Amino acid sequence: MAVSNALVGCPKLETLLNLSSTSTLQTPLGLIGVPRNNNRTRRGLIHRARCELSPSDSATISALEQLKNSAPDRYTKERSSIVVIGLSIHTAPVEMREKLAIPEAEWPRAIGELCGLNHIEEAAVLSTCNRMEIYVLALSQHRGVKEVTEWMSKTSGIPVSEICQHRFLLYNKDATQHIFEVSAGLDSLVLGEGQILAQVKQVVKVGQGVNGFGRNISGLFKHAITVGKRVRTETNIAAGAVSVSSAAVELALMKLPESSLASARMLIIGAGKMGKLVIKHLVAKGCNKMVVVNRSEERVTAIREEIPGVEITYRPLDEMLASAAEADVVFTSTASESPLFLKEHVETLPPASPEIGGVRLFVDISVPRNVGSCVNEVETARVYNVDDLKEVVAANKEDRLRKAMEAQTIIAEESNQFEAWRDSLETVPTIKKLRAYAERIRMAELEKCMSKMGDDINKKTTRAVDDLSRGIVNRFLHGPMQHLRCDGSDSRTLSETLENMHALNRMYGLEKDILEEKLKAMTSGQQK
């Protein structure tokens, strides 16, 4: 049997739970001791049982029959949950987030490892300077969260207990609303900032073709992109400071004496996307002279050509400390995994200009941080990182709340549409299995018919009989198929469609086939 073969040779071998009870399940799968009414535990054991069968067992045991005794009705009808396990600037300090951060190049590997966990079917990683969030499609909410949290602990070196203190958990509709708010910029320090929408787009781009970035999670992120675009268009939420870079510039200018804004010497370390945005926002604020330290000169030259009329001086990386000695404000935005500035580096620098009070400002918008917190111990230096940008966002609160309320109306509407789309996907396995069921009957009856007609029948007649049988089956299936198709846009139609699906599943016993297909897909995905 197909399920029996699919269950053999799974690389994950786990010890089955031994739960004491007077009402137990008598099956060869080793599920003895599990109460028949304990569906949650039994659901997990269904998943684990496939790893317990040996090739010899599969020859004598009908795996599907045993799964029938293990509440498959609940297993097939209970939809997997979308879960987000996350830590953000609102819940966790930067020290923890930088340990959990996963570089974009490692996202496919992370997805593969997450989908290798027992109760995770699909996954995606959203890792930015302000958040580290893992989105999964989980067979079991509790077990899925436990497995992902343990994986995060293993990859970061942070104890599970510490992660649990700072993480947040959201399920299904709440998870959907959260990623929509994130994409719209409502969860960012700078309301409506555009960089997060670009990062959500990058999740989809990187996930294309990655095994585990499946239909539900990819659909969620694609819909989030649509929501982000719509919110920005309809509410003008992106007006004003729209990125971490612009907030960093505003913070620096807030800390400088007003009289020194024109004369303050600016240094930008790193000419990547963030560094380039810092330069543009400085220019927008009236700064037309600055020094840029970067590994290579090409990017600085390109920025200089893009922003004519601004004096941008290039310095190589080995002149970083010398350049910092001549600067009043230092912006850092590099991908360095170790700090560029520590206490011993900064305490040897001369004081900043008297016009700004002799205190040099370090505005670090990198994760991991480029400037160590120990620099704050130097009397002539002040360090600000991404967590300090909250001060900038405190302005225009009423306007932010008004636009956020407008955005929430859009998000609620889009969330309902996404949930309806997910509901409409429920009928897909039934459609496939109903067609397969009808095709098996057609082929069996066609074979009987052809055998009765003898060996003398010509090809033309054979083809005509085959076409006739196909036509009858297609006509017969047309009605049921029409009542199983729904785009999810109408809640009444969707409800009727799901009722039709359950009725057909009961009438033709399709639950067993759907369960078999699900187990085969899960086993195949874990063996890759």
H, E, C per residue of 65-104: HHHHCCCHHHHHHCCCEEEEEEEECCCCCHHHHHHHCCCH
Residue with tokens 């007649």, as numbered in its chain: 461
pLDDT of residue 329: 97
Is residue 66 in a domain? Answer: no
Helix (H) and strand (E) counts for the chain?
Answer: 23, 10
Q: Which of 10, 51, 115, 129 is catalytic?
A: 129
In this structure, are 258 and 384 located in the same domain? yes
Cα(168)–Cα(472) distance, rounded to whole angstroms? 55
Kindly report the CATH number assigned to the domain that includes residue 343. Answer: 3.40.50.720
One-letter amino acid identity for 389?
L
What's the token pair of residue 293? 């330290």
| Strand pairing report for 168-171 and 81-88 | antiparallel
**Domain match, 458 and 329 both:** no
Q: What is the mean pLDDT of each run of 10 residues along the chain (528 residues)?
A: 37 33 36 41 40 41 44 53 95 93 95 94 94 95 95 96 96 95 88 86 94 93 95 81 77 86 91 92 90 95 92 96 96 93 95 92 93 95 88 63 87 88 70 80 87 83 88 82 62 65 70 58 53
**AA letter at 49:** A
| 101 and 225 in a common domain | yes
- For residue 93, the tally of other CB atoms under 10 A from its CB is 11
Residues 224 and 324 in one domain: no
Residue-range definition of the domain harbouring residue 87: 81-235
Q: So what's the pLDDT on residue 145?
A: 96
Burial of 332 (0-12, 13-18, 19+ CB in 10 A): buried
Residues 165 and 228 placed together within one structural domain of the fold: yes
Residues 171, 291 within the same domain: no
pLDDT on residue 487:
57
Note whether 335 and 357 are same-domain residues.
yes
| 129 in catalytic set | yes
Three-state SS for 303-339 is HHHHCCCCEEEEEEHHHHHHHHHCCCEEEECCCCCCC
- Looking at the structure, tell me whether residues 87 and 151 fall in a common domain: yes
In a domain, 75, yes or no: no
Tell whether pTM > 0.75: no
Contact predicate 227/196, CB 8 Å: no
Q: Which of 212, 235, 258 is the last residue of a domain?
A: 235
* Torsion of the alpha carbons at 207, 140, 44 and 503, rounded to the nearest 10: -100
- What's the N-to-C CA distance of the chain in angstroms? 22
451 and 366 housed in the same domain: no
Question: What pLDDT does residue 513 have?
Answer: 60
pLDDT attached to residue 314: 97
Angle of CA points 98, 156, 120, to nearest 5°: 115
Q: What is the pLDDT of residue 484?
A: 67
20: its two tokens? 């004491």
